[in-house]
Structure 1
Amino acid sequence: MNYVLDFTPVIDGLPDLLAGCLGTFLLALGGMLLAIIIGIGGVVLRDSRFPACRWAVKAFVELIRNTPFLVQIFFIYFALPLAGLRLDPTPTAIIALGINGGAYAIEIIRGGVQSISKGQIEAGLALGLHRALVFRLIVLKPALRAVFPSLASQFVMLTLTTSVASAISAYELTSVAQRIESETFRSFEVFGTITLMYLVISWMMMAFFSLISARYFSYPVK
């Protein structure tokens, strides 16, 4: 094998690759925010007194967790326009990531909610607190504290899943790398470099979630 490494295309394309990293972070952030909203809303509806709401959430979770993410993003990007809903690649990617992450967030958060004793909830209601306030202060915050490590791990995975958005040409790291590779044919150098970049992104996300955990979800050290 006489292959000679040449990282010149990678060095020349480094500004574009760093911009692609920023695109990855923005997709991940948008997807995570939407996933949190879907997760919390889904937990509320999952335990609703209305059977239709409970079954709708169950069906949503089963559908999303048991179908490939690539199929989901293709459905939103290619199938929905046939129904009159056409989205650009970036909004499509954010919505698909949010829906996918939200299905997992529902089950993770619900597990934390179920760990809260009914006595605490009844005590809050007995003190005259509104049900919404009881849910926010007595149920949701302790539940998020309990499941935050699992939720953080899921969101790190969601960040790496942004690479699939390159299939619809959303602007993120993998799509930039594919363009550079197609122009230079330096596959080993380009994809080897972004492998390391994704590793750094994962470390940065884990460090970020550790800071969030220490700031908002850890008991004070005495």
Structure 2
Amino acid sequence: MGYRFDFGAVLDRAPELLWASFGTLGLALAGMLLALVIGILGVVARTSKSRIARTPVIVFVEVVRNTPFLVQIFFIYFALPLMGIRLNPTVTAIIALGINGGAYAIEIIRGGVESVSRGQIEAGFALGLHKADVFRLIVLKPALRAIYPSLTSQFIMLTLTTSVCTSIAAYELTSAAQRIESDTFRSFEVYFTVTAIYLVISTLMMGLFALISRHYFNYPTR
């Protein structure tokens, strides 16, 4: 007997999927902001002349980038309580996303900063620019332009990674899909719809990032 498609059960739960989508975006945005903070602070330490400052950052980046995100979030949620640190699923998800994204952001931002030649910086000082102006005009904007594609791609990937947070019962799209599927037993319809929602979210984010890029970074490099 052939399978009979019925999206009615999914449409009846559309408000739940909508709110869960906002939950996904909330986790992603908070994780992105934390990742950006970790990335900036990590680059400051990573490019320091002090080995004491550089070494912990190097170890942090290697550990996070070479271990699964699922293991990282399980460690925070299940292992840290044994040390007296108990976090709810939402906070755990944000911290795990921020740590994971931050490790990648450190290397991305470092590459952008190092792409600005020392000669350009010295030329800025030779023209009489203040240190703040040199950073803003000569270092910051070219570095942002260099890292923008990689950084935004990483942020989109981080948004999709929120689906793993269902493993600790964080409120987001995949966890809502699992509840709906267990209630309706319409696995194909539920996960087809959720796949489409993730695709829409990713496409909208790519469009937004492209719009920002055209507005702020659309200038000749030579």
TM-score (norm 1): 0.93
Whether the 8 Å CA contact 1:145–1:218 is kept in 2: the answer is: no
Q: Tell me the distance in 2 between the aligned counterparts of 1:215 and 1:116.
A: 22
Whether the 8 Å CA contact 1:101–1:155 is kept in 2: the answer is: yes
Residue of structure 2 in register with 1:110 after alignment = 110
Q: Structure 1: which 4+ aligned runs deviate by more than 6 Å?
A: none
Residue of structure 1 in register with 2:27 after alignment = 27
Which blocks of at least 5 consecutive residues in structure 1 are unaligned? none
Identity %: 69
Residue of structure 2 in register with 1:67 after alignment = 67
Residue of structure 2 in register with 1:44 after alignment = 44
> Closer, same or farther in 2 for the Cα pair 1:59/1:125, shift >3 Å?
farther
Residue of structure 1 in register with 2:155 after alignment = 155
Q: State the Cα distance separating 1:209 from its structure 2 match.
A: 0.8
Q: State the Cα distance separating 1:184 from its structure 2 match.
A: 1.2
Q: Tell me the distance in 2 between the aligned counterparts of 1:199 and 1:122.
A: 46
Q: Number of aligned residue pairs: give it.
A: 219
Q: Tell me the distance in 2 between the aligned counterparts of 1:208 and 1:128.
A: 34
Letter matched to residue 43 of structure 2 = V
Residue of structure 2 in register with 1:145 after alignment = 145
Residue of structure 1 in register with 2:130 after alignment = 129
Letter matched to residue 143 of structure 1 = A
Q: State the Cα distance separating 1:146 from its structure 2 match.
A: 1.0
Letter matched to residue 129 of structure 1 = H
CA offsets, 1:90-142, max 9 Å, x none? 11111111111111111111111111010122234453634x66445432331
CA offsets, 1:125-182, max 9 Å, x none? 453634x664454323311111111111111111100000010111110000000011
Q: Tell me the distance in 2 between the aligned counterparts of 1:111 and 1:99.
A: 19
| Superposition map of 1:192-203 within 5 A | 192-203=192-203
* Secondary structure of 1:174 counterpart: helix
Which blocks of at least 5 consecutive residues in structure 2 are unaligned? none
